[in-house]
Amino acid sequence: MVHPPLLLALDQGTSSSRAALFDTAGQLLVSASAPLEIEYPANGWVQQHPKAIWESQLQAMANLEKKVNTEQLKAIVSCGITNQRETTVLWRRSNGAPCGPAIVWQDGRTADICSKWKLQGLEKEWSKTTGLLLDPYFSASKIHWLLENEPSAKTALAEGDLCFGTVESWLLWQLTGGRHHYSDMSNASRTLLMDLENQKWVEKFCDTISIPLNALPELVPCCGDFGVIQSELPFAGVAIQALLGDQQAATLGQLCLSKGEAKCTYGTGAFLVINTGNQICRSSSGLLSTIGWTNSEGSPTFCLEGSLFNAGTVVQWLRDGLGLITKAHEINSLAEEVADSAGVMFVPAFTGWGTPHWDPNARGLLIGLTRDSQKGHIARAALEGIALSVATLVELAQAALNQNLDELAVDGGAAASNPLLQAQADSTGIRVRRSVNLESTARGVALLAGLQAGVISSLEELIPQTRKNSDLFLPTIDSSKRDRWRSKWNEAVNRSLKWHDQSER
Say how far apart CA 415 and CA 270 lie, in whole Å. Answer: 10
Q: Between the CA of residue 166 and those of 85, 86, 104, 139, 305, what are the distances in Å? A: 7, 6, 10, 8, 19
**Are domains 6-246 and 312-431+475-503 of this chain identical in fold?**
yes
Q: Mean pLDDT for each consecutive 10-residue tract of the chain (505 residues)?
A: 90 94 94 94 92 97 95 94 96 95 93 94 94 93 96 95 97 96 96 96 95 96 96 96 95 92 89 93 88 93 91 87 85 88 89 84 86 90 94 92 90 88 95 84 95 93 81 92 91 80 47
Sequence ranges of the domains in the chain: 6-246, 312-431+475-503
**CA–CA–CA angle 133, 309, 165 (5° rounding):** 65
Closest CA to 295 of 220, 245, 238, 227: 220
Task: Enumerate the β-bridge partners of residue 291.
Answer: 302
Q: Which amino acid does the sequence have at 435?
A: S
Cis omega before residue 356 (within 30°)? yes
DSSP per-residue codes, 45-62: --EE-HHHHHHHHHHHHH
Nearest alpha-carbon partner for 128 in 196, 50, 31, 200:
196
Measure the CA–CA gap between 180 and 110, rounded to whole angstroms: 29
Report the predicted TM-score, pTM, of the whole model to 2 decimal places.
0.88
Q: Which class is domain 6-246? A: alpha beta
The hierarchical CATH code for the domain 312-431+475-503 is 3.30.420.40
**Phi and psi dihedrals of 376, rounded to 5?**
-65, -35
Query: What's the pLDDT at 122?
Result: 94
Give the number of residues written for the chain: 505
The pLDDT, as a whole number, for residue 106 is 87
**AA identity, residue 157:** L
Position 501 scores a pLDDT of 52
